[in-house]
Structure 1
Amino acid sequence: MTLPQPYRPDPRILELGEAFYDAVEAARFPDCKPRFLNERAAAEVGLAETDWAAHFCRFEPLPDNLPQPLALRYHGHQFRNYNPDIGDGRGFLFAQLRDDAGRLMDLGTKGSGRTPYSRFGDGRLTLKGGVREVLATEMLEALGVATSRTFALFETGEQLERNDEPSPTRSAVLTRLSHSHVRIGTFQRLAYFGETENIGKLVAYAHEHLFGEPADSGAVRLLEIVAERTARLAAGYMAAGFVHGVLNSDNINVTGESFDYGPWRFTPEWDPGFTAAYFDHMGLYAFGRQPEAIQWDVAQLGGCLSLVADDHKALGDALGSFAGDFHEALSAALVKRLGLRAGEAEEDRVLARAIIAALATRQVGIDRFFFDWRGGKRPAGDAYSGPAFDALAHAIGSRRGGRDHAYWSDEGPCSMHIEEVEAIWAAIAERDDWGPFEAKVAAIRRMGEATAEA
């Protein structure tokens, strides 16, 4: 049994100074109705006994933490177009604290009101957007993808007008728990203004407080770490069949955790051209192009770090490591999702290529494939006939993994496709029925328990 962790506040962001953020006030909401409280995550950061509404709807400061919320400053490339007019426009950094592993964690918000970067927005979040983010983060966590975690979701009692969904629609405020909100776009803003001294400060902050390395480890080392972590993230997306939808440089943080979920979807089949965002007309962030998109963002970080790096060749080598890191991470992620322990590197690469070739036949969906092949034994049936599946069985050989959890005896896999998401929301919107949402979260967590078993 895991014992509750002590609350350990540690607002390190203040070391960076006011050039990195703006103090803001949270919106005042007419209601604070809890819709999702992540008690599992709360126990890991010493907030098991917290007053949820006070701190995560009214945003009263946590003890010995940030006295006022901070809207973080950043720029970013959005669909490859540079935008200097962005920043935390409907969220802020609320608190920093240590988790049960000693990592510095951020509690950040979405839908908490207007900031200096809201432009023409109202600073609010729709309840549907909040529900979708819960489902995305829970599913990705269960599948082993590095992700922020939805900490709390409150319905706030306002009616919002939106152009891309039926309006008026219900409002919400969400708090996420993540290992940093330092984005590639944070560095881009500093580079845009030529603030080399602050770039150096941010490099040191990341090393010391995010990566546990000496503060003077330098720009090259930072790019090596970010390239490796974001390559692992791209691999996680592919193995999960996930499409983030908006992989702009302001949506990629240096710790390599996925966050800020908007038009995300899971692709039903291994379809490289599958897109999530209706406005992604060119397929820039399509399923199969996500590694390329993330690598491009990391290259923008490399450009920023070139302003403070002593060795530009080493910086280029660090950026060039992304492709190798990605392929290694993808092999590991696919083998793990199949329920097999890691083998020799070349064996795992061969097996990963066979998995992808089998998925590319699109004879079955991604979730069904990994559910049926879990543990490495070839399932019976016509769905798995053909050369690609013969090659897969050969690549697996005698390797076997466990299928002991009761989940693997279910009729089919737990999935999270758009039809399911819309049905869950329809029950809430039409009948205020939260049963399907709560049942889905429970089913996802049960799947996570099963997939965590070797």
Structure 2
Amino acid sequence: MELRQAFATHLPWALSQVEPQGLENPRWLLWSQDAAEMLSLVGPDANALAVFSANARMAGASYHAQVYAGHQFGGYSPRLGDGRAMILGEARDIDGQYWDIALKGAGKTPYSRHGDGRAVLRSAVREFLVSEALFHLGVPSTRALAVVGSETQVWRESLETAAITVRLARSHIRFGHFEYVTHGERDPERLRQLVDFTINQHFPHLSCDTAGYAAWFAEVVQRTAVMIAHWQAAGFAHGVMNTDNMSILGDSFDFGPFSFLDTYRENFICNHSDPEGRYAFDRQPGIALWNLQRLAQALSPLISSDALIAGLDGYQHALVQHYLILMRQKIGLPAGQAAEDLQIVSGLMSLFEKNALDYTNSMRMFAQWRPGESHFALRDECLDSAAFDAWFQAYEKRLGRVADAELWRRQRQAANPRYILRNYLAQEAIDAAQQGDNQPLNTLYQLLRNPFDEQPDMAQYARRPPRWGEGLICSCSS
């Protein structure tokens, strides 16, 4: 595998060269054959283990950490950077797309501050699982190639073992990169270099001039809106939507505490470190806009305020439009009637919340019903049957006549997953892996590769969580 070094070559001031620190007695925990085949890599072997455990340097790799700033929980941090990630370079996939290859947890960098630059097994595994789970659900996301475990010990709240996630990203450029250059470097020329590089590498259909810059920002707004629409439709809570965790390409990125909804709650908080709920599930659309506004401020030396405002003005329409596209697919409504459809979707979410229903399982019930049938199993789950009947009457009226009920049902199956990455399932698999048993981990991963298929022998993975696992949340510790 040959690596390109476009970022390191064109923006040397935006990174620091680093030296990886290998893991002791490394072992494979997870390997994505899908991602490996995408990059034309042979399956996990001894050479790959040496490279991805940071015990051997990959030929042609740069090994650098990028510097950026960011708004974290609303407060500005002027100098952050890759505190535990090292980027080796960009590899070309079978379709000609380039992917950054990064080792997350390979030791200290100049941006580690007081940290050790390591990732622990639980966080490395969770990042792999959520990256691949989102990808197979069709949600824009970075990907993961592998997780390497070890006997290297690190201290968090207790003694744990270190691991490395091999992350794949179409780009590691974040909103925070632009904030760093404008507010920290205060260098308009470097800002122009960064924007030009971003456009040339990732938005080649746009020009590097006044009109192109404005069009580029508007497209970043659109891509971000599409990503958030996917999160809301999938019932996914990111948990740490700082500007340094926002990809300029609109990919789900940098996972700390996260959760897919179990019982539907609009104000669900998945991050133990977020007691005020800044990044609660229902606040994600607004926070994304707030982050885009911070990006606009950072770009103001290069792009006119009128163009920035025009770009931001497109956010809400793009978000609602794409959210409705996704939700119509999930509940089977034809296109059109935006205001009425929003009301129908909102009414359904209200039923879910008032009746404490499981989001994924309840949405999947649309794949078990055929239009025209008098009985809809979702009604049996609602304590307030009258409220359901009122909603269902409006829904059926809007749905209208369906020519092929069986085709309609199969389409709902393709839009509503049977399986998601529930936190309690991840925790059970992690507990087993920490005891040396990788089978539950790999079984869970293989399940998440085909989330829309029934897989009858795996039905237990679709059940609602046990009491201890309902609404399980995590902290920001790594």
TM over 0.5: yes
1:178 equivalent in structure 2? 169
Which residue of 332, 337, 348 corresponds with 1:358? 348
The structure-2 alpha-carbon separation of the partners of 1:298 and 1:275, relative to structure 1 and needing over 3 Å to count, comes to same
8 Å CA contact 1:351–1:396 kept in 2: the answer is no
The structure-2 alpha-carbon separation of the partners of 1:436 and 1:393, relative to structure 1 and needing over 3 Å to count, comes to farther
Deviates more, 1:381-390 or 1:16-25: 381-390
- The one-letter code of the counterpart of 1:439 is T
1:313 equivalent in structure 2? 306
CA distance in 1, matches of 2:281, 2:144: 23
CA distance in 2, matches of 1:71, 1:56: 16
Deviation digits for residues 105-143 of structure 1 (CA, Å, limit 9, x no counterpart): 111221111000001101000101111112212221222
2:419 pairs with 1:426: no
Deviates more, 1:321-330 or 1:357-366: 357-366
Which residue of 384, 398, 403 corresponds with 2:401? 398
CA distance in 1, matches of 2:339, 2:100: 36
- The one-letter code of the counterpart of 1:436 is P
Deviates more, 1:22-31 or 1:245-254: 22-31
Deviates more, 1:193-202 or 1:371-380: 371-380
The structure-2 alpha-carbon separation of the partners of 1:289 and 1:357, relative to structure 1 and needing over 3 Å to count, comes to same
1:123 equivalent in structure 2? 117
2:178 pairs with 1:191: no
The structure-2 alpha-carbon separation of the partners of 1:157 and 1:376, relative to structure 1 and needing over 3 Å to count, comes to same
Which residue of 210, 214, 223 corresponds with 2:202? 210
1:447 is paired with a residue of what secondary structure?
Answer: coil
8 Å CA contact 1:331–1:349 kept in 2: the answer is no
What's the offset of the Cα at 1:423? Answer: 2.0
1:204 is paired with a residue of what secondary structure?
Answer: helix
- The one-letter code of the counterpart of 1:397 is G
2:471 equivalent in structure 1? none
Deviation digits for residues 205-253 of structure 1 (CA, Å, limit 9, x no counterpart): 1111112224515331221111001111111110111111000000001
Which residue of 364, 370, 390 corresponds with 1:377? 370
What's the offset of the Cα at 1:343? Answer: 4.2
Which residue of 422, 441, 454 corresponds with 1:437? 441
2:270 equivalent in structure 1? 276
- The one-letter code of the counterpart of 2:176 is G
CA distance in 2, matches of 1:214, 1:326: 22
Deviates more, 1:367-376 or 1:277-286: 367-376
CA distance in 2, matches of 1:40, 1:59: 24
8 Å CA contact 2:240–2:279 kept in 1: the answer is yes
- The one-letter code of the counterpart of 2:246 is I
| 1:282-297 matches, cutoff 5 A | 282-297=276-291
- The one-letter code of the counterpart of 1:72 is Q
The structure-2 alpha-carbon separation of the partners of 1:74 and 1:202, relative to structure 1 and needing over 3 Å to count, comes to same
| 1:191-270 matches, cutoff 5 A | 191-192=182-183, 193-217=185-209, 218-270=212-264
CA distance in 1, matches of 2:147, 2:77: 29
CA distance in 2, matches of 1:25, 1:265: 33
What's the offset of the Cα at 1:104? Answer: 2.3
Deviation digits for residues 178-211 of structure 1 (CA, Å, limit 9, x no counterpart): 1100000000000012111111111111111112
- The one-letter code of the counterpart of 1:90 is R
What's the offset of the Cα at 1:155? Answer: 0.4
2:42 pairs with 1:52: no
The structure-2 alpha-carbon separation of the partners of 1:15 and 1:214, relative to structure 1 and needing over 3 Å to count, comes to farther
Query: Which runs of at least 4 in structure 1 moved beyond 6 Å after TM superposition?
Result: none
1:336 equivalent in structure 2? 329
| 1:410-421 matches, cutoff 5 A | 413-421=418-426
CA distance in 1, matches of 2:214, 2:233: 29
2:308 is paired with a residue of what secondary structure?
Answer: helix
The structure-2 alpha-carbon separation of the partners of 1:16 and 1:376, relative to structure 1 and needing over 3 Å to count, comes to farther
Deviates more, 1:393-402 or 1:259-268: 393-402
CA distance in 2, matches of 1:36, 1:110: 14
**TM, length-normalised to structure 1:** 0.89
- The one-letter code of the counterpart of 2:204 is G
8 Å CA contact 2:232–2:323 kept in 1: the answer is yes
8 Å CA contact 2:418–2:453 kept in 1: the answer is no
1:36 equivalent in structure 2? 30
The count of corresponding residues between Structure 1 and Structure 2 is: 433
- The one-letter code of the counterpart of 1:383 is E
1:106 equivalent in structure 2? 100
Gaps of 5+ in 2: 456-478
The structure-2 alpha-carbon separation of the partners of 1:30 and 1:175, relative to structure 1 and needing over 3 Å to count, comes to same
CA distance in 2, matches of 1:215, 1:97: 25
8 Å CA contact 1:376–1:396 kept in 2: the answer is no
CA distance in 1, matches of 2:213, 2:345: 37
- The one-letter code of the counterpart of 1:212 is P
CA distance in 1, matches of 2:321, 2:337: 12
2:360 equivalent in structure 1? 367
- The one-letter code of the counterpart of 1:446 is N
CA distance in 2, matches of 1:48, 1:298: 40
Gaps of 5+ in 1: 1-6
1:3 equivalent in structure 2? none
1:79 equivalent in structure 2? 73
8 Å CA contact 1:245–1:263 kept in 2: the answer is yes
Deviation digits for residues 260-291 of structure 1 (CA, Å, limit 9, x no counterpart): 11111112233121001111121100000001
CA distance in 2, matches of 1:199, 1:15: 16
Deviates more, 1:202-211 or 1:414-423: 414-423
The structure-2 alpha-carbon separation of the partners of 1:94 and 1:172, relative to structure 1 and needing over 3 Å to count, comes to same
The structure-2 alpha-carbon separation of the partners of 1:352 and 1:278, relative to structure 1 and needing over 3 Å to count, comes to same
- The one-letter code of the counterpart of 1:415 is I
**TM, length-normalised to structure 2:** 0.84
